[in-house]
Amino acid sequence: MITKDDIKYLEGLIKINLTEEKREQYTKEIDEILEYIKEISSVDLGTSKDQEYQHNNIFKSDAVLQDDNHRDLALDNAPEKLGKLYKVSQVLKQ
Amino acid sequence: MPSLIKEINSKILNKETTIENIVNEYLNTLKSKDSSINSMLEIYSDEYIKEQIKIAEKMLEENKTTLLTGVPVVVKDNLCVKNQLTTAASKMLANYKATYDATVIQKLKDAGAIIVGRSNMDEFAMGGSTENSAFMQTKNPLDISRVPGGSSGGSAAAVAMGGVPVSLGSDTGGSIRQPASFTGIIGLKPTYGAVSRYGLIAMGSSLDCVGPFANNIEDIKIIFDIIKGEDARDATTIKNQELELINKNLSQNKNRKIIGIPKKFIDQDGVDSNIRDNFYKTIEQLKKFGWEIKEIELKNIEKALSVYYILMFAEVSSNLARFDGVRYGESIKGATPEKSMILSRSEGLGEEPTRRSLLGTYVLSSGYYDSYYGKAIAARDYLKDEFKKIFQEVDLVATPTSPVFPWKFGEKNDPLAMYLADIFTVPANIVGIPGISLPTGKVNVEELKNLSFGTQFLAEWHNEEKLFTVAEDLGL
């Protein structure tokens, strides 16, 4: 059973603030969904595994494939910029 | 059914009409029908469309045309189109202009297609009705009191109403096949890795696929042939060399025609009896074309929905973490960087993305990871094994596309009920196989009249060809 406090904790992790009303709604809905997906624990994992499906990493060369003006285009979307840089509020205190 | 693309192509090559005329004719239909359907978030500016027409005309002059040259296309709003707004139907990206073309967009442009606009969708492709768009509701052209399906509802509706011959959508758990079924057209979800995801705004990266909508199978094939292929910018695309080997193996069963029917799965509660009847009738019809029907059992398929939702929630929570309001998107300033992020995300992300981020973070959190995500990853491999074995015996697996008919607006407001409607489409995404939804007849029930039935066929990895064969047999 998921509680309103659990949801509040998750809000902190995903950096979203919910209103009290929304929190209540989500608690109920998410509880129902978790109740449903709990059936995963009864999946029959009895037989041997096929080696072919073992997951492996794919690497690629560290080459730049973007256009020359990509930086300018990207900066055009910035909420705040300073010359050719993104401007953000101060992270470290002096 | 005749290919619209080929018809356009021959008219252009024979100088019966100009590219500009073709585009304008379609645009007129698209604009006039859209006043009641709302399939499009934006029809691009005259200037941008003209620019593309010029390129296509030049290709014609220089005898460098492809089948797609001059063909108007609509794309789902989660595919990046350079210098154009690309919003994923989210407030978060309401003012975001893509800085590059998605690989599939680049390929359409290289072929001379005219991208006329971006279509409505569920926010970040999360939903099955297009009701979750932050901007507007798209209506089903077959019955405007009902949803067009989703999440690629706008792309499906645009083709279904004749506004464009073809469009692109994306399919993470059925988002191409289900709206195709709801609007009475064809939708193809290719094999995972057959088509590049570069430039597709990610939802569930191990599940997402880009694919086409059309009203005939030849047009589906034409678009698929153009958009598929290895891409250095998407490491999960299949290497050409590997594909050659796979095709060689597939060719051994090229002429075999066996359809597997997971009867227990189809006969479960919750499947509309009209839909079930149409399904068995369709399968019966295929016998005439030499298809052998075989009852099969997929032991873990009923758990597919849980596996899908756990994996997808987890991937969503990770993919949506990037929207922080610093580099692009909705940005609201707070007292600290963290507060700015919270304000921006709370304002920018809608209800379903928030719900899925919460759920994804929950299933990945310490203490629950093993019992949810770990288990789902293991179950995914077992499902793959099951399908692999099944495809040694059969060439296709068939089910209805959706267990229910398109619902009326607001009728399904319980998220779990909405999730359950994905039961038949999610297995293909979990295991990565290709699937297609084919229109298999008009509904003959008074309150559902005008609606269409959809039947889904699934094939082995990279065997889209078999899906095309069954569509051709059905006269599509």
Beta bridge partners of B442: B452
Instruction: Give which of A3, A4, A16 to mutate to test B binding, by max B Cβ within 10 Å.
Output: A16
Q: Where in chain B are the domains?
A: 4-241
Does some domain include residue A47?
A: no
CB contact under 8 A, B345 and A32: no
Is B24 exposed, middle or buried, given 0-12, 13-18 or 19+ CB atoms closer than 10 A? middle
Does some domain include residue A27?
A: yes
Written as tens digits, the pLDDT of chain B (476 aa) is 999 999 999 999 999 999 999 999 999 999 999 999 999 999 999 999 999 999 999 999 999 999 999 999 999 999 999 999 999 999 999 999 999 999 999 999 999 999 999 999 999 999 999 999 999 999 999 999 999 999 999 999 999 999 999 999 999 999 999 999 999 999 999 999 999 999 999 999 999 999 999 999 999 999 999 999 999 999 999 999 999 999 999 999 999 999 999 999 999 999 999 999 999 999 999 999 999 999 999 988 889 999 999 999 999 999 999 999 999 999 999 989 999 999 999 999 999 999 999 999 999 998 888 889 989 998 998 899 999 999 999 999 999 999 999 999 999 888 888 899 999 999 999 999 999 999 999 998 988 989 999 999 999 999 999 999 999 999 99
Please tell me the distance in Å from A56's CA to the nearest CA on chain B.
Answer: 11
Instruction: Answer whether CATH 3.90.1300.10 is correct for domain B4-241.
Output: yes
Residues 25-84 of A with CB under 8 A from B: 26, 29-30, 32-34, 36-45, 47, 49-50, 53, 58-60, 65-67, 70, 73-74, 76-80
Could you list the residue range(s) of the whole structural domain that residue A22 is in?
A: 4-42
CB contact under 8 A, B381 and A53: yes
Does some domain include residue A13?
A: yes
Question: Are the C-beta atoms of B128 and B418 separated by less than 8 Å?
Answer: yes
Number of domains present in the structure of chain A: 1
CB contact under 8 A, A50 and B376: no
Does some domain include residue A35?
A: yes
Does some domain include residue A23?
A: yes
The DSSP result for A14-63, as a single string, is HT-PPPHHHHHHHHHHHHHHHHHHGGGGG----SPPPGGG----------
DSSP, collapsed to helix, strand or coil, labels residue A91 as: coil
Strands B209-214 and B258-261 come out as: unpaired
Does some domain include residue A21?
A: yes
d(CA B281, CA B45) in angstroms, rounded, equals 46
Does some domain include residue A30?
A: yes
- ipTM rounded to 2 decimals: 0.91
Catalytic residue annotation of B: 76, 151, 175
Q: What is the DSSP letter of B371?
A: I
d(CA A62, CA B232) in angstroms, rounded, equals 11
Please tell me the distance in Å from A5's CA to the nearest CA on chain B.
Answer: 13
Question: Are the C-beta atoms of B141 and B215 separated by less than 8 Å?
Answer: no
